[in-house]
Structure 1
Amino acid sequence: MLTAIIDYESGNLHSAEKAFQRMAREVGAGTVVVTSDADVVARADRVVLPGDGAFPACAAALRGQSGLFDAMVETVENRGRPFLGICVGMQLMASWGREYEDTQGLGWVDGEVVRITPDDAALKVPHMGWNDLVIDTAHPVFDGVATGDHAYFVHSYQLHVARPAERLAHVDYGGDVTAVIGRGTMLGMQFHPEKSQATGLRLIANFLRWRP
């Protein structure tokens, strides 16, 4: 079993690598590697796409490595391997990003990434820090995780899904903010599970054990 965390020069991957490797050992999920090698992604059993920064820059960086991008699409779309997008990696799953300019996403989840607009002027953007998850739709990734468990967020934009069933969890930040999305073999988490202590580690373990 091989889990590939894609390195497309879009953020510090050290903490994600360590968290996924730790949970892979605990649940017997094989090997976790951080890679920019298209051949490794092509033979991966699971794919993780992190991302930090602005949507347009991350989209350009990912597509700029054509072999890596094509291998990811082939592995996820055509081979149906489980996929997890984290932070901007989740946002890239959308049809469009509206940060700075209109940028096409992967189109794996119908929706658009828009700026967070809390209805309470006292709430600052970016949305930064701990917030309690509200689970909207049951999913194996939530095994042992409940509404009220908290996760660590750092973001100014959120994904508005077109199909409500594909929003699996949200948080309240002056209104609903999407936290977890899912469709078929694909999952996305707006927060950083690798920085979300026990809840995040449980979610990572559940993803590594998931058999969609």
Structure 2
Amino acid sequence: MILEAAGIEVVGEAANGADAAASASVLRPDVVCMDVQMPGVDGIEGTRRIVADESLDTAVVIVTTFDRDDYLFQALQAGASGFLLKNADPDDLVTAVRVAAAGDALLAPEVTRRVIARFAPALTSEPEDSARPPATASRPPATNAPPAVVPDLTEREREVLALVGQALSNAEIAQRLYIGEATVKTHVSNVLQKLGARDRVAAVVYAHRHGLV
């Protein structure tokens, strides 16, 4: 009811992760709102299957009762584009779906800090030649791990990436740099493409790994 009242069409429902992945391959939704704890195949595995399906361009937003770090990290590693608790405001759910549909990731600043605290130290200590280079295929990698090779970013793109690394929204970045929000969105898209990164989560970790924050 919340989504349909906001003009978002709900095209299907599923009982578990396996059904969600199977339904997504048929219904081809823009976004899947995925629970975590479900019978049989859970939401983390369901997310992994949807993201791994190269025929789909479907984003997954985790919507769960459980504010647990293990769920958060596993969901992001599986390729989820957002993590939302079920006690969030209805407007937050609508925003999460729209943000994911637009190709961005929705992470509250406090969640972003937890992601950085978990992943950035390990990534910083990795040898540069031990990680894979940026993907060259048109489809982004199905993981939030950032590439090791620094791409040829423009000075403005580096500025934008550094601010993304501080968990700022596009609107906040636009205000900081005195440019339009649409221009920021273009810069973010270019940055993600050059990084071979799936979404902003990977960009945040990348920015911290390479000392841009």
**TM-score normalised by structure 1 residue count:** 0.27
Bigger relative contact order, structure 1 or 2, given CA contacts below 8 A and separation 6+? 1
**TM-score normalised by structure 2 residue count:** 0.27
- Structure number with bigger Rg: 2
Tell me which protein shows more strand as a share of its residues. Answer: 1
